Amino acid sequence: MGLTRQVLSVGQLTLLIKDLLWKEPVLRDLAVRGELSNFRHHTSGHLYFTLKDENSSLRGVMFRSHAMSLTFRPHDGLKVIATGHIGVYERDGSYQLYVRSLEPDGLGALYLALEQLKQRLEKEGLFDPSRKRRLPLLPRRVGVVTSLRGAAVRDIITVARRRLPNVSLVMADAIVQGADAPASIAQGLQLLAGVAGVDVIIVGRGGGSVEELWAFNDELVLRAVASCPVPVVAAVGHETDFTLVDLVADVRAATPSAAAEIAVPDRAVLERTIKQAASRMGLALVRRTQLARALWRRAVLSPALSRPHDRVHQHRQRLDELVRRLGLSAVRRVEQARARSRPAAFVARASREGGMREEPGDRPCRAVDPDLVSAYLLPGSPLARKFPRFEHRPQQVHMLQVVAETFNDGRVALVEAGTGTGKSLAYLLPAVCWAVANDAPVVLSTHTINLQEQLVEKDIPLLRHGLELPFRVAVLKGRGNYLCLHKWAELRRAGPMLLDEEEARWQARIVAWLAVSDTGDKAELNLPPRGEELWSLVDSDSDYCRGTDCLYRETCYVQTARRAAAQAHLVVVNHALLISDAVAGNLVLPAYRHLVLDEAHHLEDVAT
């Protein structure tokens, strides 16, 4: 009679196997080496994976309560050692390893965790050089976070007292190794950061093993250093030791002694620097005084101050002579104009035929046809087509014809133009046409700067665009408006004699301006009132000019402006310069036949 077999359900068999496995001591506490695959971090916090080697595979699970203690991040392909027990998952009837602890195989868990922490903090920007702060030159108080029973604190105190005997050191006693060290170090940093007057903090310890220094790799310490409101100097171990706090701190020191040398200035060096600064300041004051005396002597000895009445008398005498000559010239020109007067139709016909006229003592001049010139201001003309808002003004056309005929006949015309006439274009058009036809300059003189700027910046460019006729324009001003390169060179050679900030800014502004200026005209600078006062140190004036003996004659801004005027068709000046040219015997402006006086009613006031 055969034995009766016990028939078990699948569930009963699974429970039996589970019970047998649990009763086996080896399977209740074992360590398994393998490679992670199919790793999955569930939203519940549990870890699911497979351990495998070249022969077999084993399913594993690590519940959230154990996974929270991991110091590294598991991933597929990582070789690990898993510690736990073998059990059966009843639903699937499969056995698996229930893991209590997991650590990397080969590379220690601490080092792997360190590398992963380093990469994470680096992505957050805690190692970015732009976060590093400069240490104060002379800190009021220096904080030190370290163990007060170690050798490091004695080294820091010794070096700091030697460099600056009266330095104030504030100590925060901290545990620097072991499980309690990170919290202690972070607390010390927070404590010192709140002490008034602490401008820099040294955090560190003396040498030791990797395990003894590991607290300075802790994330709590690293974030405490990063969030510290004052600069931090890291000084952990010896020169060959390295921790993550070295990357987060503002400055890394090789040793605690080196940290004291970095954070605390050397008194001898400070005293030497102060003496050198005082010496330079005294020398600058001497140079400034010498320059001021030299300028004062030059001013006192100049003819303008030593014999001021001489120049006044000479100018008065010269002005009387000019007024007399101006009256004679006006009478002579009127008589010549009457003698040469002929029908206007004959003048226009001669112009159209390219007729030439010649006055005694003058070279021949080509006349311009007033009708042809005035055609530019008629509706439908090229000038009108280029400007949609062009407005035909009969008074403007009539004035243009008068000016053109005056240029042709060499007469004197007095024109009073009402508001809205457009007088500027009325004399600019014939002036340009005559100057280009004869390759000779026409001088335009104004009284105000506003009108001069209107001519140069608005009317003449408009005319250049509308005419499509190439012509050259030059603006000539009094020499006091131009910088004297010789004066500037003397001022620069005087050395660092500018003591107040405003004068320093003025000189720096001149340096930058001269690098881009082609004219040397002070109008480009838009100087403030104080700058206008200082301009007298570098302006060009006839009393100081060295003439042909000047080293800067070829690049002289005054001479450059005069050369440009000599080649121009239109020379724009003001009444003051026009009178000065007459006083100087016509040595300033280029030789010219025709002169347009805009705002002529101010000429008498300027002359007297």
Residue 166 tokens, joined = 């009266």
Give the pLDDT confidence score for residue 351 in this predicted structure.
40
Highest mean pLDDT among 61-75, 289-303, 556-570: 556-570
Over range 532-560, report the average pLDDT: 83
Residue 465 confidence (pLDDT) above 90: no
Annotate 471-527 with DSSP letters as a single string. --EEE---GGGBB-HHHHHHHHHT-S---SHHHHHHHHHHHHHHTT-SS-BGGGT--
Task: Quote the mean pLDDT of the chain.
Answer: 83
d(CA 400, CA 550): 45
Give the Cα separation of 573 and 556 in Å (integer).
19
- pLDDT at res. 172: 94
Q: What is the mean pLDDT of residues 71-89?
A: 85
Cβ pair 85, 18 in contact under 8 A: no
541 phi/psi in degrees, rounded to 5: -140, 150
Reference 288, options 583, 19, 507, 10; nearest CA is 507
CB 456 within 8 A of CB 475: yes
Q: How far apart are the first and last CA of the chain?
A: 156
Number of H helices, E strands in the chain: 26, 16
Does the pLDDT at position 149 exceed 60? yes
User: Percentage of the chain surpassing pLDDT 70?
Assistant: 87
* Cβ 421 vs Cβ 393: under 8 Å: yes
For the stretch 14-59, pLDDT in tens is 787 877 877 788 788 888 988 888 899 999 889 999 998 888 889 9
pLDDT at 273 over 60: yes
Asked if 412 contacts 333 with a C-beta cutoff of 8 angstroms, the reply is: yes
pLDDT at 357: 39
Q: What's the full length of the chain, in residues?
A: 608
**Res 449 pLDDT > 50:** yes
Q: Which of 249-258, 545-554, 588-597 has the lowest mean pLDDT?
A: 545-554
Tell me the two tokens of residue 324. Answer: 């007399």
Three-state secondary structure call for residue 50: strand
**pLDDT at site 49:** 94
Confidence at residue 303, expressed as pLDDT on a 0 to 100 scale: 64
pLDDT at 332 over 90: no
In the chain, what are the domains?
Answer: 10-106 (2.40.50.140), 133-265 (3.40.50.10550), 320-472+568-607 (3.40.50)
List pLDDT tens digits, range 92-140: 778 899 999 988 876 555 667 777 888 889 899 999 999 999 999 899 9
Per-residue burial over 306-329, b = 16 or more CB atoms within 10 Å of its CB, e = otherwise: eeeeeeeeeeeeeeeebeeeeeee
Helix 485-493 with 501-514: angle, nearest 10 deg:
130
Whether the predicted pLDDT of 500 surpasses 80:
no
Write out pLDDT tens, residues 198-255.
999 999 999 887 778 889 999 999 999 999 999 999 999 888 788 899 999 999 999 9
Q: What are phi and psi of 357, to 5 degrees?
A: -125, 155
Radius of gyration of the chain (CA): 48
Residue 311: its pLDDT value, please? 65
Query: In degrees rounded to 5, what are phi and psi of residue 429?
Result: -60, -55
Q: What is the mean pLDDT of residues 276-302?
A: 78
For 191-256, list the strands marked E by DSSP.
Answer: 198-205, 232-236, 251-252
User: Highest mean pLDDT range out of 220-234, 289-303, 348-362, 403-417?
Assistant: 220-234
Nearest-CA neighbor of 393 among 404, 383, 379, 403?
379
Q: Determine contact, residues 283/497, Cβ cutoff 8 Å.
A: no
Which pLDDT band holds residue 346 (cuts at 50, 70, 90)? very low
What is residue 296's predicted lDDT score, i.e. its pLDDT?
A: 79
Q: Above 80 in pLDDT, residue 452?
A: yes
Indicate the residue type of 19.
D
Residue with tokens 């001003």: 477
Asked if the model's pLDDT at residue 347 lies above 50, the reply is no
Tell me what pLDDT residue 369 has: 87
> What pLDDT sits at residue 480?
87
pTM to 2 decimal places = 0.44
| Residue 504: predicted pLDDT | 75
pLDDT of 340 > 60? The answer is no
- Residue 360: its pLDDT value, please? 36
List Cα–Cα distances, 175 to 147, 172, 256, in angstroms: 6, 10, 16
Reduced to 3 states (helix: H, G, I; strand: E, B; else coil), residue 170 is: strand
Q: If pLDDT is split at 50, 70 and 90, which confidence band does 330 have?
A: low
User: DSSP label at 169?
Assistant: E
